[in-house]
Amino acid sequence: MATSSTSSASTNSASTNSGSTNSSSAGRAASLWQRPWVRAAGWLLLLAVLVVLPLVMTEFVNQTLARIGVFSVAVLGLNVVMGYAGQVSLGQIFFLGVGAYVTAYGVSQEWNIVLVFVLACLLPAVAGLVVALAAARLGGLAIAMVTIALPIVGVPLAKRLSDYTGGSQGLSALFVEAPEGSGLYDDQWQLYVVLVIGGIVFLLTRNLVRGRYGRAFAIVKGNENVASSMGISPYRYKVLAFTVASLIGGVSGFLYMVVIQYTSPETMSFGHSIQLLAAMVIGGAASIVGSILGGAFYVLVPQLTNQVDASVTTLLQGVILLVVLFVLPGGLASLPRALTRGRRRSGAERGSAAPPTTPSSTPGSGTAAEEPETERQGHA
C-alpha cells in the first residue's frame, strides 16, 4: 500500500472534481478548522448539544431525531458499498429488515440484549458476505441485479417463516425503556441509545473510509484495472464493502426496533430500498455528513409533505427529489461547497478574485494530496 496515498489523491480529484476547484477558498475555513483547539471545541460543543438536546426537546422531536438516527445509519451502510466502493446495492433494506427481525425474535425469546445486538449485527453481515461472495464475482452491474433480489425474496420469506417472524402480522418488541430512577422518559432514553450506538458506528465507519481501506475502496470505485495493477483485489474489497454495509444495515435494524418497536414484511418492501438509495444520493454519496442528511431527508420529507397536503405526498416528494438533484447534483452535503463556489463566482464577476476560480482539474494537485480528508468528506 506504499503507493496508495498519491493514487488516492488522484482518484479523489477525478471522482469529485468539484472538490479541487474550491480547495483554496475552502482552505480559509479549513485552516481555522485545522487548529486543534478549534477542532476540539467544535467536537465538544457538538457532544454537549447531543447530550442536552433530548432533555429539552418535545417528545415528538426526540422521536423524529431518533428515526433520523436509524435511517442515517442505514444510509451510511449504503454509502460504504455505493458511495465509497462504487457498487450499486438495491438491497440495503433487506439487511435492515434482517437486523430488525433478529432483534424482535431475540427479544421475544428473552435473550440477553447484548447477545441480541451482536446477532443483529452478525447475521445480516453473514448474509451479506454470502451474497457478495457470489455477486461480486459477476462484476459490473451484476451486483445491483443480485441485490434487487434481496428485498423481493425477503418479503415472502418473512411471511413464510411465520414461526419466527410472526408472518404478515409482524413482530412487536418493546424493550428499550428508560431505567427506573433515571428520571428520563422513554423517548429520551431511546434517543440516547440511538445516539450512542449510531455515533459509534459513524465514528468507526469514518475511520474505515478515511484509512487504508477507504483509499482502496476509492481506487476500486475509480478503476478496477488500476486497482488490480496496484495489488488491490477489487473482488476482495467489493466483498468487504458489501459485508460492512450489511453489518451496518443490521445495526440500523436493531435501532429500528429500538425506536419503532415493530417489524413486518412491509418493512423490507423493495420501494423502501429505492427510497434509501435516493436518500443517499440526495444526502451526498461518499460523505459521512451526507449520510446524516440522507437519513434526515428519508424521515423529514414524508412528514413535511404530509403537512402540505396528505393526498399528494408522493408527488411532492418526487418534486423535492428532482429539485435537489438539479440544484445540488452532489447532494445536500455539497451545499457549503456550492455556496462558496457561488460566492467566488460573484466575486469573479467584480474582477477581484479571478485567479482562484481557475479550476485545477489536474489530478494530484498539491492541496488535494495534502487534504484527502476534506476532499472526500466536505467539512464534517
Burial 167-206 (b: 16+ CB within 10 A, else e): eeebbebeebebeeeeebeebbbbbbbbbebbeebbeebb
Would you count residue 261 as binding another protein (CB under 8 A)?
A: yes
CA dihedral 375, 377, 378, 380 (to 10 degrees): -140
For the CB of residue 269, give the shortest distance to another protein in the complex, in Å.
8
* CB of 147 closer than 8 Å to CB of 131: yes
Query: How many of the chain's residues bind another protein (CB under 8 A)?
Result: 48
* Span near another protein by CB under 8 A; candidates 8-16, 161-169, 208-216, 245-253: 161-169
Is residue 89 helix, strand or coil? coil
Nearer residue to another protein within complex by CB, 2 or 310: 310
- How far apart, in whole angstroms, are the C-alpha atoms of residue 4 and residue 55? 45
- How far apart, in whole angstroms, are the C-alpha atoms of residue 150 and residue 93? 9
For the CB of residue 25, give the shortest distance to another protein in the complex, in Å.
10
* CB of 284 closer than 8 Å to CB of 293: yes
* CB of 292 closer than 8 Å to CB of 283: yes
Among 181, 311, 326, 355, binds another protein (CB under 8 A): 311
For the CB of residue 166, give the shortest distance to another protein in the complex, in Å.
9
Query: Between residue 28 and residue 57, which ones bind another protein under the rule CB under 8 A?
Result: 28-29, 57
For the CB of residue 186, give the shortest distance to another protein in the complex, in Å.
8
* Span near another protein by CB under 8 A; candidates 162-170, 202-210, 235-243, 356-364: 162-170
Interface positions with another protein (CB under 8 A): 28-29, 57-61, 63-64, 67, 156, 159-160, 162, 167-170, 172, 174, 185-186, 256, 260-267, 269, 271-272, 299-300, 302-303, 305-307, 310-314, 339, 343
